Structure 1
């Protein structure tokens, strides 16, 4: 084509190996501007239209939506961002397919008696699964006056991330976690909340985080609950939050409160979390239980 020549809609379609309907579709949406109209009112396109149409076809071959194609045509430097966005969306779709596949395998491999329960569990969550219900659960059980930074750190530690390529067992674990955390139980309270209200909950949870970190080394070494820095830090967190000195009497009282306040549903939460993640790393729950048992053993030895 010469720079001054124009193409009819049929000629443009033939050169680009597309249908006339396709050219008209992109023209009507403003992606393919006309150069002029013939005396009979027919569309005519300039030489640049062929390259533009070929670019549109390439972008559409990648399944880019028409609005995204329009953005790239207006500003080519946006192509990298658009591609990155499409990759993220495709990753989400692939994750959803893997979760659906694992869920179907879970249902295929179970007994008829188990199938109804598992169907109900799977039907209660989205695909790919969302951790929002788990986060809401923790926001409910945590004290209302905790600073945002503490809430964020606790959620990061307590809310497990679903694996992108789960096994059927992991699908079942997450489905049970979802059911557990969406159950309406106003009496639910985490095992590390004392029965007596703390005067300064931020002080308590700051100290508990430090104590859990110290206890993790013993848990990784598979050491039984024992006295030491981790237990002292654990008790000190409660004592400071109550504005009470750390005395043997306080330790005995705290140990009794924590033992009485233990909730098997929270134990179940941490068990399911371990099944989901497949990790042997200590969790907040296992660290708390280890420290509580260390306090109980210390108090029993002093009697």
Structure 2
């Protein structure tokens, strides 16, 4: 130290076990303030600079960006936010690595004939993948002018979140799902939406979808229990949603007509099949999708036809 109790840049670097270049880098960026200058214009640092330099190097060892290091040094309460932000970034990086690892296993453990197609599928999605393409698909499929709150609720139920730690089968299913919603629909499926999507058919789609969400939720419980389609609260709620959206009553005649209409409606079974594969747990039964709940309720409606 100098007589004034200050270190030169070289002495500070030696005390910290680093290089002069590193000390100069942080000084030039304002992270390591100087205590003064020598008569020759050389930088001088006080003892507190050593602790500050050690803090800087510790944060940088955790890959905290230099601007975030500066924010953490400026305010004591900012360090917690900086650490939380870094945790989020690391979590995202780990998710991407887990996705890539599962994708590589998928490509390794398949036949040569399958490899090129699978590589094309998984190469079309990011790691980890997003759900923007699925949201666009549903916004195009849903009837127009639905309330924004209802659209958000539908998307929440209809769009699966990519698993944090996927297995190769889930990677393949999500890649196929992404390709399904990104490519052109077969024939004129986008134009041939269900009759209930078209106001000219007499339906009020907003009323219908609000009721269907409730009906699918009611159907999920017997489906989890493995019960076959049957009459009950879930089916009544399902039929009531269609009846109320038409401004009519739930009658045996209405149920017969509704069953025939739903049987003839365009379907997106492939979408729901892939959703089930994406969300399948490692063990146990998969959670019922809205598509599976719709099929269960439609089967329950068909069971009533002989009695109607």
> What is the TM-score when the length of structure 2 is the normalising length?
0.91
Work out the CA distance in 2 between the residues paired with 1:220 and 1:194: 28
Work out the CA distance in 2 between the residues paired with 1:214 and 1:13: 68
Q: Which residue of 1 aligns with 2:204?
A: 200
Q: How does 1:49-198 map to 2 (within 5 A)?
A: 49-185=49-185, 187-188=189-190, 194=196, 196-197=198-199, 198=202
CA displacement 1:152-209 (0-9 Å, x = unmatched): 2222211111111111111001111111111233633798763653542221111111
Deviation at 1:3, TM superposition (A): 9.7
Check the 8 A contact 2:196/2:205 in 1, yes or no.
no
Deviation at 1:297, TM superposition (A): 2.8
Residues 1:294 and 2:296 aligned together:
no
SS in 1 for 2:145: coil
Distance 1:78 1:3, change over 3 A: farther
Residues 1:31 and 2:25 aligned together:
no
Q: Which residue of 2 aligns with 1:256?
A: 260
Check the 8 A contact 1:194/1:257 in 2, yes or no.
no
Deviation at 1:135, TM superposition (A): 1.9
Q: How does 1:256-295 map to 2 (within 5 A)?
A: 256-263=260-267, 266-279=268-281, 280-295=286-301
SS in 2 for 1:44: strand
> What is the TM-score when the length of structure 1 is the normalising length?
0.92
Check the 8 A contact 1:191/1:258 in 2, yes or no.
no
Could you say what the CA RMSD is over the residues aligned between the two structures, in angstroms? 2.1
Name stretches of at least 5 consecutive residues in structure 1 with no aligned partner. none
Name stretches of at least 5 consecutive residues in structure 2 with no aligned partner. none
Deviation at 1:96, TM superposition (A): 0.5
